[in-house]
Structure 1
Amino acid sequence: MKLSISGLLLFSLVFSSNAQTQDSELIEKAIRIHERVITIDTHNDININNFTTENNYAQDLDTQVNLPKMMAGGLDVSWLIVYTGQGELNEQGYTEAYKNAISKFDAIHRLTKIYAPEAIGLATTSAEVRKLVAEGKKVAMIGVENAYPIGTDLSRIKEFYDRGARYMSLSHNGHSQFSDSNTGEENDEWLHNGLSELGEKAVLEMNKYGIMIDVSHPSKEAIKDMFSISKAPLIASHSSARTLCNHSRNLDDELLELFRYNGGVVQTVAFSSYINTEKHNAFSKAETQVYKNTADQLGLSYLERDSVRKLNDTAKENYYKDLKKIRTAAKNGLENLNETSTPVAVVDFVDHIDYLVEKIGIDHVGISSDFDGGGGIYGWDDASETLNVTIELVRRGYSEQEIAKLWGENLLRVLDEVQEVSKNMQG
C-alpha cells in the first residue's frame, strides 16, 4: 500500500466538504488506480535548513513536501529543485550562485544517503525510478531551476549531471547569461532576443549529457530557439495553458504545438495564479485580510511579500516564526473563508489538463505542483492530498492507462529519449 490511512482520512475530509461529492464506487476505483500507477511531481522547491540531522524530510515538517506527506498522499516521486535566484551577470554573482547550487545538491544527497536511505532513494533514470518504487521506497530526482550557477563554464553542465541533475532551465525570473526570461514581457525588455550564443551551446551540452531542457521560465522566443536547436524532446517542468490563464509563465497554443511535434511533455502546474489569476487574486485578497486580522489579535505584524523580501536574513527568520503563529491561529477563519470565497481548486487545475490533452494529446501532458515554491491549490495543497487529483481525473473519465501517462509515464518516456540522444551523441 503506497497510501497511508492518514492520506485516506484526509481525502475524505476534503471531499466531504466539496460541492461535488464523489460516490464510493468512484472513490474506490481512484484509490486502486492511484496505488498502481507511478505518481511523479516534477517541481518541489527545498530549503537547506530542512536537510539537517535535527530537521529533515523524514519528519512531518511544516513543508508541503516531506516523506510522511508523500506516504499519506501516495506520491511516489518528488523532483527536488536546485533553485538559484537571478543575480548580476558577473564572476562574483556566478561564484555565489554556484555555492548556493552545490549546497542544495549536497542537501538532497544527505536525505537519500544519510537521513532516510531506507525510505527514499535518488534516481537518475526511469529504470532506477521503477526499481525504487518496486522496493516500496519513495524517490527523489533533481532538477535545476536556473542555469545561472553554471556561469560561463559549460563544463559545469556535466558536473551537475554527475551530481544527479536530470533537467535544467536556462533562466528564471530575470534574464540570464543564457536566455531571456518570460519576465521581460511585462515591459518588452530583452537582453538576447531569445537565447544567447552561450545559451545555444548550453542546449547542445545538455543534449550531450542527457539533461532534459526545461522551458518553464524562459521567454517565448528563447523557447522557440531551444526547440529549433535541441536534438532531444523538451519539457516544461511546471507550466499551464495560456489560453485558459493569460500569464507569461504559461504556454500559448503556438508553443504547445511545438511540444506535440517535438515529442516533449508539459507538466501542468498547480500554482493558483497560473491556473486562474482572477479567482486567485480575489481569494488572496480575502485571505490576506484574515491573516491581518489574526496578526492584530496576536499583537504581531503581517507583511506583504515585497516587504518580506526587503528584510535582512535575521529579521526574515524572525518574521517567518511569527508568520507560522499567525497561520496556525488563522485556521478557523480560513475555513470559514472557503464558505464565502472561492479558491482555485483541483477542478480548475484539471481544466488545464483537459485543455492540454485536447490540444496536444495525452502523451504530452504531465503533473506538477511547485510545492514549497508558491504552489498549492484547494484540494491539493500539499503532498498528502495527492490522491485528490487522481479522483478528479477518474471523475472526468480518464482511463487507468491515461492517468498513468499523466502522472509519470510521459515524463519517464521523455527522460529515456533524452538519454538515448545523449548516448548517440557521446558514441
Structure 2
Amino acid sequence: MNSKLTILAASLTLILGCNNANVANEEQQSVTQSESAEQLVKRAKAIHERVIVLDTHNDFSDANFVEDKNYTMRLKSQVNLPKMEEGGLDVSWLIVYTGQGELNEAGYAKAYASAMKKFESIHRLTEEIAPDQIELALTSDDVRRIIKSGKKVAMIGVENGYPIGEDISNVKKFYDLGARYMSLAHNGHSQLSDSNTGDKDQQWLHNGLSDLGREAIKEMNKWGIMIDISHPSKMANMEMMRLSKAPVIASHSSSRAMNNHSRNLDDEELLMLKKNGGVVQAVAFQSYLNSQKHDTFLNAAKEVYQQTADKLGLALFDRKLYSTLDEAGKNKMVNDWQTIKEQSQPAIDTLSKTVKQVDVADLVDHIDYMVKLIGVDHVGISSDFDGGGGVLGWNDAAETHNVTIELVKRGYSESDIEKIWSGNLLRVLDDVQRVAKEIQANKT
C-alpha cells in the first residue's frame, strides 16, 4: 500500500467511525457492507485521481504570496501547493475578498485598493513565484490543459462587488484581471445589493438589488463573469436569477432546510437556481452545516483554546475586531489563531472523543439533500478554507480525498462525483462565457 493509499485508509477509518445514521437508503448502505474498507479506499482513490477536483472558495493572505513565504511551501494555511498535492486538489479558486465598509467615495477607494492588491498577489504567484507549479485558468479548456501539463490550477473569484464603487466599468477591469465570478454583497449591504444579514435582522437598504446592482448584472453577463449568490439576501438572489441571461452559482452555500442559517439557500432559491441552470457549491463551514453540533463543540473547545492562548500570551481570533485591523494586524491575528489551534490539537482530539464535531458526513448530508431536491447536475463542493471553513475529516486541502471517500460510501457513481467535484461548475462557466459572446456579438 503506497503512502497516498495509507492516508486514504486512515481517513476512511475516521469517516466510517462517524455516525452512519444519515446514509441515504438501504442501497447505499449495501455499498459499504459489500466492500471491505480497503476495497472502498482503492475505488475512491482511483476515482479521485481520475476526476478534476475543484474547490470554488479559498481565501488567502497577501503575506503568503511573497518570495520568501508563499504557496510553494507547506505553510500553516489550509491551502497551499504541497497540501493540494497531498489531498489531490487540482483547482483552487483564490478569492479577492473585501469586507463591507462605508458606502462613500473614501470607502470605495479603500476597497478598490485592497482588491487590486489581492489580484496582484494571485498574478505574482502564478507568473513570478511558481509558474512551473500553478497557472491561472480563465476557461474550462484552460483548466483541462493546465492539469494535463501536470500543474495545479488557480482561478479567481471576487467576494463582494463593493470595490467596483459606482464605476460600472470596473466589472470589465476585474474580468480582464482574471475574475470569473463575483458576488454583489458580503456580510453587510453594499451599493449593489442587500446582504444575507438582512435575512437575520430584517433591515434592508434596497429591498433586493439597487439600480447600480442591476447594471452590474448586465455587465457580468456581457463579459462572462459568473454571478455568485452566496452572500446576498434571498430577495436579491431571486431578482438576480430573474434578471440574469446566464446561469448563476452559489460559490459556498449549503441548504437552509437542513440548517437554518441566512448564508444557506432555502428550497425556493434552490429550485429557482435549478430552473436558471446554475449550481450550488455545498460548503464545509461548520456553523452552516449543523449549527447545534458546531455550537456545542465550540463552547466546549473555547476553554481549551483560551487556556492555550493564555499560556502563549496570545489573543483568540475575534471576527469583529479582525474586520477593523490593517493588513499586518489581520495577518498577525490569523497566524496567532493558527498557532493556538496547533498547540491545542492534542486536547481537542481528546475532547472529540466525547463531544461530536461537524464532519465530512454532515457536509455530504447537505449534498444528498440538494441532489434529491434539484438533481446532481446542480450541486458542487467548496471549502471556504482560510476563511473559516473546515470540518472534521476535511480541515485542509491535504484531506480533500476524504470527501470523495464519503461520496463513494454513499453510493455516488464516478460520473456523479465528476459532476459534483468540477463538471457542473465548469459547465456553468462555459454557459456564461457562451452567453457573453452572444451578447457582445449582438451589440457590435
Pair in the same fold by TM > 0.5: yes
CA distance, structure 2, for counterparts of residue 343 and residue 378 of structure 1: 7
Number of equivalent positions? 424
Question: Of 68, 88, 94, which aligns to 2:102?
Answer: 88
Cα deviation, residue 97, structure 1: 0.5
Paired residue for 1:12?
9
- Aligned residues: percent identity? 58
CA distance, structure 1, for counterparts of residue 314 and residue 302 of structure 2: 14
CA distance, structure 1, for counterparts of residue 324 and residue 139 of structure 2: 40
Paired residue for 1:335?
349
Encode CA deviations 1:335-370: one digit per residue, 9 max, x unaligned. 101101100000010000000100000100000000
Question: Of 229, 244, 247, which aligns to 1:215?
Answer: 229
Cα deviation, residue 184, structure 1: 1.2
Within 5 Å, give how 1:21-420 maps onto structure 2: 23-298=37-312, 300-302=314-316, 304-306=318-320, 320=334, 322-420=336-434
CA distance, structure 2, for counterparts of residue 87 and residue 307 of structure 1: 14
Encode CA deviations 1:218-256: one digit per residue, 9 max, x unaligned. 001101110111100010000000000000110000001
For structure 2, list consecutive stretches of 5 or more residues without a partner in the other structure: 19-31
Encode CA deviations 1:300-354: one digit per residue, 9 max, x unaligned. 5546544555667666655555444432321210110110110000001000000
Cα deviation, residue 295, structure 1: 2.9
Instruction: Report the CA distance shift for 1:114/1:5 in structure 2 as closer, same or farther (over 3 A).
Output: farther
Instruction: Report the CA distance shift for 1:120/1:5 in structure 2 as closer, same or farther (over 3 A).
Output: farther
| Secondary structure at 2:353 match in 1 | helix
Q: Tell me whether 309-318 or 95-104 shows the greater mean CA deviation.
A: 309-318
Cα deviation, residue 14, structure 1: 3.3
Encode CA deviations 1:267-304: one digit per residue, 9 max, x unaligned. 01000100000001111111111111223444555465
CA distance, structure 2, for counterparts of residue 104 and residue 313 of structure 1: 11
The answer to whether the Cα contact below 8 Å between 1:5 and 1:72 also exists between their aligned partners in 2 is no
Q: Tell me whether 317-326 or 377-386 shows the greater mean CA deviation.
A: 317-326
CA distance, structure 1, for counterparts of residue 38 and residue 356 of structure 2: 25
Name the aligned partner's letter for residue 438 of structure 2. Answer: N
Q: Tell me whether 405-414 or 285-294 shows the greater mean CA deviation.
A: 285-294
Paired residue for 2:24?
none
Name the aligned partner's letter for residue 358 of structure 2. Answer: V
CA distance, structure 2, for counterparts of residue 357 and residue 60 of structure 1: 35
CA distance, structure 2, for counterparts of residue 331 and residue 61 of structure 1: 17
CA distance, structure 1, for counterparts of residue 174 and residue 335 of structure 2: 34
CA distance, structure 2, for counterparts of residue 423 and residue 316 of structure 1: 40
CA distance, structure 2, for counterparts of residue 132 and residue 316 of structure 1: 33
| Secondary structure at 1:26 match in 2 | helix
CA distance, structure 2, for counterparts of residue 79 and residue 46 of structure 1: 10
The answer to whether the Cα contact below 8 Å between 1:44 and 1:370 also exists between their aligned partners in 2 is yes
Instruction: Report the CA distance shift for 1:51/1:166 in structure 2 as closer, same or farther (over 3 A).
Output: same
For structure 1, list consecutive stretches of 5 or more residues without a partner in the other structure: none
Q: Tell me whether 325-334 or 91-100 shows the greater mean CA deviation.
A: 325-334
RMSD after superposition: 1.8
The answer to whether the Cα contact below 8 Å between 1:287 and 1:334 also exists between their aligned partners in 2 is yes
CA distance, structure 2, for counterparts of residue 93 and residue 311 of structure 1: 15
Encode CA deviations 1:84-123: one digit per residue, 9 max, x unaligned. 0011111111111011001000100011111111111100
CA distance, structure 2, for counterparts of residue 313 and residue 212 of structure 1: 28
The answer to whether the Cα contact below 8 Å between 1:6 and 1:72 also exists between their aligned partners in 2 is no
CA distance, structure 2, for counterparts of residue 104 and residue 304 of structure 1: 22
CA distance, structure 2, for counterparts of residue 124 and residue 312 of structure 1: 31
| Secondary structure at 1:89 match in 2 | coil
Encode CA deviations 1:9-54: one digit per residue, 9 max, x unaligned. 4433333344159611111000000010001100000111110000
CA distance, structure 2, for counterparts of residue 325 and residue 196 of structure 1: 42
| Secondary structure at 1:279 match in 2 | helix
CA distance, structure 2, for counterparts of residue 98 and residue 314 of structure 1: 18
CA distance, structure 2, for counterparts of residue 333 and residue 8 of structure 1: 28
Name the aligned partner's letter for residue 152 of structure 2. Answer: K
Name the aligned partner's letter for residue 233 of structure 1. Answer: P
The answer to whether the Cα contact below 8 Å between 2:9 and 2:38 also exists between their aligned partners in 1 is no
